[in-house]
């Protein structure tokens, strides 16, 4: 009888210890539970605003990065396919209507000037015609200027001007394209989409590809898909443009009772809470609490004031958005709620998961006690 009483007392003591461990949070857990998160709210002298997500909150927080070219980029006209730029190379052929002309030798009346370089100031030099402005002119305009200069010295000169390969009207493409390099602006490649095609297209998923164009001190960025969705974004190129193709770098962090705990990059331009949960393998069926799905972020004051119905907040605010997937429209709310760059998606464990740990600790401890008692009895203890 004394032995049974001793065992019972030990069991009660172990059970009491296990429950104390559970209530004090000593047991292992994936992170804070709902009670611990709520204890950090402003209402309880914490520094975070905890907000239950509804349709109004969803509308107020549905802010995504707006990408698009500025008016200066969109309003630039296309460069003519035959417009000469500094750095271009021209080929000139001049015929003179005399046997012994200014340029031609005695045996011919034709003079060929190959690879006449347009200098940095936009000029070329033609013997007996002097310095001719080529930059900004077409080959036809240059032909007329040279003809006018020469006809004062030789009768009825005939001039032909050809544009050869040059490095004047060129753009550079770097990043995630098929073939990085420097490409000339020609008739087929006067627009951004055409130039990307000439470079072998993009080599990253179109859904997350971003195109940045740098023109002098200006820079502007657009989603690759918008080049085809909005024709005005297929801008005309200018000599010296630098085009960068890169993958969207936005990401969120998933923690808690989810299928995977990691930092996850966005796979689409817009990402909802439901899509974010699915991306990391969904909720853990054995432990996740569908009433405790939290999205944590630093919210700009403008949006935080709108969400909270206030006007006095200044600077970024710590916001904790709560999603309850068990509500009648909980899945729809989560489908419409937007996840943003640097968000933390955290799913709490269900209460029964903690109790399972308590029971496991209890039964494990009782097993150890039973083994000790058995051994003690066997040795006459």
208-237 residue pLDDT tens: 999 999 998 899 999 999 998 998 999 999
Q: Residue 6: pLDDT band by 50, 70, 90 thresholds?
A: low
Sign of the torsion formed by the C-alpha atoms of 370, 372, 377 and 381: negative
Q: Residue 34: pLDDT band by 50, 70, 90 thresholds?
A: confident
Mean pLDDT of 87-96: 87
**Residue 185 has what pLDDT?**
80
**Residue 46 has what pLDDT?**
85
Would the pLDDT of 312 be above 80? yes
When comparing pLDDT for 193 and 77, which is higher?
A: 193
Q: Give me the percent of the chain exceeding a pLDDT of 70.
A: 81
Please tell me the least confidently modeled range out of 198-207, 221-230, 353-362: 353-362
**Residue 77 has what pLDDT?**
74
Would the pLDDT of 92 be above 80? yes
Mean pLDDT of 86-99: 84
Nearest to 111 by CA among 128, 123, 86: 128
Mean pLDDT of 64-89: 78
Q: Which three-class secondary structure string do you get for the chain? A: CHHHHHHHHHHHHHHHHHHHHHHHCCCCCCCCCHHHHHCCEHHHCCCEEEEECCHHHHHHHCCCCCCCCCHHHHCCCCCCCCCCCCCCEEEEEEECCCCCCCCCCCCCCEEEEEEEECCCCCEEEECCCEEEECCCCCHHHHHHHHHHHHCCCCCCCEEEEEEECCCCCEEEEEECECCCEEEECCHHHCEHHHHHHHCCCECCCHHHEEEEEEECCEEEEEECCHHHHCHHHCCECCCCCEEEEEECCCEEEEEECECCCEEEECCCCCEEHHHHHHHCCCECCCCEEEEEEEEEEEECHHHHHHHHCCCCCCCCEEEEEEECCCCCCHHHHHHHCEECCCCEEEEEECHHHHHHHHHHHHHHHHHHHHHHHHHHHHCCC
**Residue 193 has what pLDDT?**
93
State how far the Cα of 342 lies from the Cα of 346, in Å rounded to an integer.
13
**Residue 78 has what pLDDT?**
72
Summary mean pLDDT of the chain: 83
**Residue 220 has what pLDDT?**
92
**Residue 83 has what pLDDT?**
76
Would the pLDDT of 195 be above 70? yes
Would the pLDDT of 73 be above 90? no
**Residue 164 has what pLDDT?**
74
Q: Give me the percent of the chain exceeding a pLDDT of 90.
A: 47
pLDDT in tens, 274-285: 999 999 999 988
Would the pLDDT of 2 be above 80? no
CA distances from 27 to 96, 351, 368 (A): 100, 13, 18
Would the pLDDT of 206 be above 60? yes
pLDDT in tens, 231-272: 899 999 988 899 999 999 999 999 998 988 899 999 888 999
Q: For residue 346, what are its two tokens?
A: 């955290």
Nearest to 133 by CA among 123, 144, 121, 118: 123
Long-range Cβ contacts of 352-359 (<8 Å, 24+ apart): 353/257, 353/286, 353/287, 353/289, 354/22, 354/27, 354/29, 354/33, 355/22, 357/22, 357/27, 357/28, 357/29, 358/18, 358/19, 358/21, 358/22, 358/27
C-alpha 107, offset from chain centre: 66
**Residue 96 has what pLDDT?**
85
Length of the chain: 381
Q: Do β-strands 344-349 and 251-256 pair in parallel, antiparallel, or remain unpaired?
A: parallel
| φ/ψ (deg, to 5) at 371 | -65, -40
pTM: 0.66
**Residue 86 has what pLDDT?**
80
């Amino acid at each position: 009888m004394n032995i049974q009483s001793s065992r019972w007392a030990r069991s009660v003591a172990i059970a009491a210890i296990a429950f104390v461990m559970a209530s004090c949070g000593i047991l292992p857990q994936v992170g804070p539970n709902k009670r611990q998160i709520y204890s950090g709210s402003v209402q309880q002298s914490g520094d975070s605003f905890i907000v239950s997500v509804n349709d109004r909150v969803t509308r107020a927080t549905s802010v995504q990065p707006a990408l698009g070219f500025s008016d200066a980029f969109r309003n630039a006209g296309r460069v003519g396919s035959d417009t000469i730029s500094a750095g271009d190379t021209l080929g000139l052929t001049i015929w003179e209507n005399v046997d012994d002309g200014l340029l031609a030798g005695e045996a011919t009346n034709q003079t060929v000037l190959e690879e006449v370089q347009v200098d940095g100031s936009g000029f070329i030099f033609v013997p007996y015609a002097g310095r001719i402005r080529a930059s900004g002119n077409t080959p036809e305009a240059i032909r007329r200027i040279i003809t006018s200069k020469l006809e004062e010295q030789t009768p009825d000169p005939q001039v032909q001007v050809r544009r050869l390969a040059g490095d004047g009207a060129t753009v550079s493409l770097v990043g995630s394209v098929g073939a990085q390099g420097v490409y000339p602006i020609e008739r087929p490649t006067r627009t951004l989409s055409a130039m990307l095609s000439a470079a072998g297209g993009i080599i990253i998923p179109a859904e997350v590809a971003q195109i940045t164009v740098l023109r002098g001190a200006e820079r502007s960025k657009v989603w690759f898909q918008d080049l085809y969705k909005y024709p005005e974004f297929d801008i005309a190129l200018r000599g010296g443009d630098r085009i960068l193709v890169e993958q969207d770098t936005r990401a969120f962090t998933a923690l808690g009772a989810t299928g995977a705990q990691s930092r996850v990059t966005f796979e689409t331009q817009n990402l909802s809470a439901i899509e974010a949960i699915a991306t990391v393998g969904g909720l853990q069926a054995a432990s996740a609490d569908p009433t405790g799905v939290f999205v944590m972020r630093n919210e700009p004051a403008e949006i935080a004031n709108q969400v909270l119905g206030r006007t006095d907040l200044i600077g970024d605010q710590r916001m904790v958005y709560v999603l309850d997937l068990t509500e009648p429209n909980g899945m729809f709310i989560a489908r419409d709620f937007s996840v943003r760059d640097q968000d933390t998606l955290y799913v709490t464990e269900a209460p029964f998961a903690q109790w399972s740990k308590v029971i496991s600790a209890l039964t494990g401890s009782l097993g150890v006690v039973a083994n000790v008692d058995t051994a003690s009895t066997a040795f006459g203890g």
